[in-house]
């Protein structure tokens, strides 16, 4: 497997082949534990973390002018912390649990909306937990010299955030996506495409099917540092207006990651691509992985 943190060919000094091989092997060992995860990005890499490993990630996001079409609220959002746990079930499969303990919206605007009458927040702030996403990722084809890696991911979003806070939809959503990735020299490119089945928060007997997409890159600038970026979101594909909170959305992310041993630090800039997205945001966080148990 080629590492995303491979040292660019142009920056390698001319040394004996055996020494270059040892350096490359060491870089692979350092990079591999966090290779399958992608903070501060959201495009999913098809590589898994490995059997018996547990990956922990956490971060803080702050975004401005975040719209909530279902509740009619708009404001500046603080998510702290955003957490994720991935458990390596085998060499090709992992279980993922993602969510957040506290979301706080500083309200800058209120408008009439389908669920605005249910919002109980009367001041200039509202807060709630974040919806939890439970997912399974299975690698189908390992990356090779002439082929990309391929995996399938199935995820369910649970309705933990309430519509009374104005931050939740009280709907259960299902996502299914194909994940592909290929490393070429010092650049790793990852692509996702799939289907999202989103519940209609205003009607219990309706749903909205959307196209999910993601395209990211990671460019190694040294054996420990990367520059990363992506465009990811969803597209409303059906006729007519989308149910509130389920329309087309997209986000551009650009940032950097630094790996030291089993710890990876990251930071990034977020820019919304539609009127349904935050205008601007920042994120910082870390990823840590360790061997937790033995898989027979």
Query: Could you read off the pLDDT of 36-82 as tens digits, one per residue?
Result: 558 999 999 999 999 999 999 999 999 999 999 999 999 999 999 99
* Residue 205: per-residue pLDDT: 86
In a domain, 2, yes or no: no
In a domain, 132, yes or no: yes
129 phi and psi angles, rounded to 5 deg = -75, 170
In a domain, 4, yes or no: no
In a domain, 296, yes or no: no
Q: Are strands 207-220 and 280-291 parallel, antiparallel or unpaired?
A: unpaired
**Whole-model pTM?**
0.86
pLDDT tens column, 181-230: 999 999 999 999 999 999 999 998 899 999 999 999 999 999 999 999 99
Name the E strands within 69-116.
73-88, 93-100, 103-110
N- to C-terminal Cα separation, the chain: 23
* Segments forming the whole domain that contains residue 230: 9-291
What is the tally of structural domains in the chain?
A: 1
29 phi and psi angles, rounded to 5 deg = -65, -40
In a domain, 263, yes or no: yes
In a domain, 202, yes or no: yes
In a domain, 3, yes or no: no
> Please, which pLDDT band fits residue 115 given cuts at 50, 70 and 90?
very high
In a domain, 119, yes or no: yes
How far is residue 66's CA from residue 295's CA, in Å, rounded to a whole number? 43
* Residue 37: per-residue pLDDT: 57
Would you say 201 and 169 are in contact if contact means Cβ atoms under 8 Å apart?
A: yes
Average pLDDT of the residues in 92-100: 97
């Amino acid at each position: 497997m080629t590492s995303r943190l491979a040292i660019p060919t142009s920056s390698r000094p001319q040394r004996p082949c055996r020494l270059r091989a040892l350096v490359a092997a060491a870089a692979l060992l350092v990079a591999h534990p966090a290779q399958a995860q992608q903070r501060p990005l959201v495009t999913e890499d098809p590589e898994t973390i490995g059997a018996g490993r547990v990956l922990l990630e956490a971060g803080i996001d702050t975004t401005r002018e975040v719209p909530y079409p279902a509740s009619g609220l708009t404001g500046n959002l603080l998510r702290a912390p955003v957490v994720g746990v991935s458990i390596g079930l085998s060499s090709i499969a992992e279980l993922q649990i993602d969510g957040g303990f506290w979301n706080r919206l500083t309200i800058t605007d209120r408008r009439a909306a389908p669920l605005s009458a249910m919002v109980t927040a009367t001041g200039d702030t509202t807060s709630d937990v974040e919806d939890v996403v439970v997912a399974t990722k299975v690698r189908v084809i390992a990356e090779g010299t002439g082929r990309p890696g391929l995996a399938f991911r199935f995820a369910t979003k649970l309705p933990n955030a309430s519509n009374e806070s104005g931050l939740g939809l009280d709907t259960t959503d299902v996502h299914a996506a194909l994940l592909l990735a290929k490393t070429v020299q010092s650049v790793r490119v990852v692509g996702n495409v799939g289907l999202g089945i989103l519940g209609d928060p205003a009607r219990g007997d309706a749903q909205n099917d959307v196209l999910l997409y993601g395209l990211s890159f990671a460019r190694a600038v040294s054996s420990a540092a990367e520059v990363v970026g992506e465009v990811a979101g969803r597209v409303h594909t059906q006729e007519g207006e989308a149910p509130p909170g389920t329309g087309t959305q997209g986000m551009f992310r650009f940032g950097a990651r630094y790996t030291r041993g089993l710890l990876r630090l990251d930071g990034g800039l977020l820019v919304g691509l539609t009127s349904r997205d935050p205008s601007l945001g920042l994120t910082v966080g870390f990823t840590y992985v360790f061997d937790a148990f033995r898989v027979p």
